[in-house]
C-alpha cells in the first residue's frame, strides 16, 4: 500500500568566502527523504556527492533512481539495497558548465508502487584568494619592481593552490577606476614572482586579480607604491644598470651604434645630466644596454 505522502522542506542561508549560498534542500515523501547538497564548483569533471537519501526501516526492498537536470546535464544515478538504508548518490558535473540550479527528481519504487520525490541543489563558483606584495614601497620611473604572491581556491573545507591567470591592476590615488597592467600565469604551486621596469610618472595603488572558470573572481589587498625622483650620481655603469637595465638618456637621444640601436633606455634629461661621465660615446645616453 502506498504510504501517505508527507512533504517537508528545509532551507537556510550560509555565507562562505564572500559567496552566499543555500544549505541543503531536503524533501520527504512517503517516508523517503532525498536531500540535494549545495556545492562549490571544482576544476574539470568530478563526481560530487550531491544527493543523499534515507529509506524508512519498514521497507523490505526498494530502488531509488535520481534524474538531475541543470548545466552540464549530469547523468542519472541509481541506488538500491535492503532496508533500512541511507547513503549518498554522486552525480558527475563539469566545472566548465558553470554554476547553476539543479533539479532532482527521484523515483522511489517499492513493491511495484512508485513515489516521486523532488528536491534541488545549487553549484556556486568556488571562492578564490589572491595575495600580492611589491618589492618596493617607493620607486623611480624606469626602476625595476618585483611583485610576488599566490592564488588558491576553496576545495571542501580548505584552500588549495591554484595555477591560474593573474592580472596586476593599478589605480590613481583618490580614484576608483582600475586599469589592467600586466597579465601572467601563476605556476603549478599557485605562486608568482614578476619583475618589471616601473613605467609611470606618478605613484599608484596596485592589486592582483585572479579567477578560473570554476571560481569567483578574487582580488588581493591593495598596496600603495610611491614614485620618487632619482637624483643619484651613479659610480659606474654597473651601478646605473642595476637600477636602469637599458641605461638613461636625455629626451630625444638616439643610440649611436653600427648595430641595432637601444631604444628601451629610460628617458630623463635631469638624471642623464647627473651621469654624463658614463656616456662614453657622447650620444646622449649613459650606459645603454640591450
Q: What pLDDT score does 83 carry?
A: 55
What are the start and end residues of each CATH 2.60.40.2550 domain in the chain? 9-124
Best-predicted range by mean pLDDT (28-42, 74-88, 126-140): 126-140
pLDDT at 285 over 70: yes
Could you tell me the three cell numbers for 4? 501517505
Task: Give CA separation, 136 vs 14, 63, 89, 169, in Å.
Answer: 40, 65, 52, 16
pLDDT at 11 over 80: no
Q: How confident is the model at residue 2 (pLDDT cuts 50, 70, 90)?
A: very low
pLDDT at 9 over 50: no
Q: What pLDDT score does 17 carry?
A: 33
Q: What pLDDT score does 187 carry?
A: 96
Q: What pLDDT score does 1 carry?
A: 31
Span of 57-61, 63-67, 190-194 with lowest mean pLDDT: 57-61
pLDDT at 7 over 80: no
Span of 12-16, 231-235, 278-282 with lowest mean pLDDT: 12-16
Render pLDDT for 135-184 as a digit per residue (tens, 0 to 9): 999 998 888 999 999 999 998 789 999 998 999 999 999 999 999 999 99
pTM above 0.85, yes or no: no
pLDDT at 230 over 50: yes
pLDDT at 196 over 50: yes
What are the start and end residues of each CATH 2.60.40.730 domain in the chain? 128-227
Render pLDDT for 206-226 as a digit per residue (tens, 0 to 9): 999 999 999 999 999 999 999
> Spelled out in words, what is the top-level CATH class assigned to the domain 128-227?
mainly beta
pLDDT at 58 over 70: no
Q: What pLDDT score does 109 carry?
A: 77
Fold of 9-124: Immunoglobulin-like (2.60.40)
Q: What pLDDT score does 84 carry?
A: 60
Amino acid at each position: 500500500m502506498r504510504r501517505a505522502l508527507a512533504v517537508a522542506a528545509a532551507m537556510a542561508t550560509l555565507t562562505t568566502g564572500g559567496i552566499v549560498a543555500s544549505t541543503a534542500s531536503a524533501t520527504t515523501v512517503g517516508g523517503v527523504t532525498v536531500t540535494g547538497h549545495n556545492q562549490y564548483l571544482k576544476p574539470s569533471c568530478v563526481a560530487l556527492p550531491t544527493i543523499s537519501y534515507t529509506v524508512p526501516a519498514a521497507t523490505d526492498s526498494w530502488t531509488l533512481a535520481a534524474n538531475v537536470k541543470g548545466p552540464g546535464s549530469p547523468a542519472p544515478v541509481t541506488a538500491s539495497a535492503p532496508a533500512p538504508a541511507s547513503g549518498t548518490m554522486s552525480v558527475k558535473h563539469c566545472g566548465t558548465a558553470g554554476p547553476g540550479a539543479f533539479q532532482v527528481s527521484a523515483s522511489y519504487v517499492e513493491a511495484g508502487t512508485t513515489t516521486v520525490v523532488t528536491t534541488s541543489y545549487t553549484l556556486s563558483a568556488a571562492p578564490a584568494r589572491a595575495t600580492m606584495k611589491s618589492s618596493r614601497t617607493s620607486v623611480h620611473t624606469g626602476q625595476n619592481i618585483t611583485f610576488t604572491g599566490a592564488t588558491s581556491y576553496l576545495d571542501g573545507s580548505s584552500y588549495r593552490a591554484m595555477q591560474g591567470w593573474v592580472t596586476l591592476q593599478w589605480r590613481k590615488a583618490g580614484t576608483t577606476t582600475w586599469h589592467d597592467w600586466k597579465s601572467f600565469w601563476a605556476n603549478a604551486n599557485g605562486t608568482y614572482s614578476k619583475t618589471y621596469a616601473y613605467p609611470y610618472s606618478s605613484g599608484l595603488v596596485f592589486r592582483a586579480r585572479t579567477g578560473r572558470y570554476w571560481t569567483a573572481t578574487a582580488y588581493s589587498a591593495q598596496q600603495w607604491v610611491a614614485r620618487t625622483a632619482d637624483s643619484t650620481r651613479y659610480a659606474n655603469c654597473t651601478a646605473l644598470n642595476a637600477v636602469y637595465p637599458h641605461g638613461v638618456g636625455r629626451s630625444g637621444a638616439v643610440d649611436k651604434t653600427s648595430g641595432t640601436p637601444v631604444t628601451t633606455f629610460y628617458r630623463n634629461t635631469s638624471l642623464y645630466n647627473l651621469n654624463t661621465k658614463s656616456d662614453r660615446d657622447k650620444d646622449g645616453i649613459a650606459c645603454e644596454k640591450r
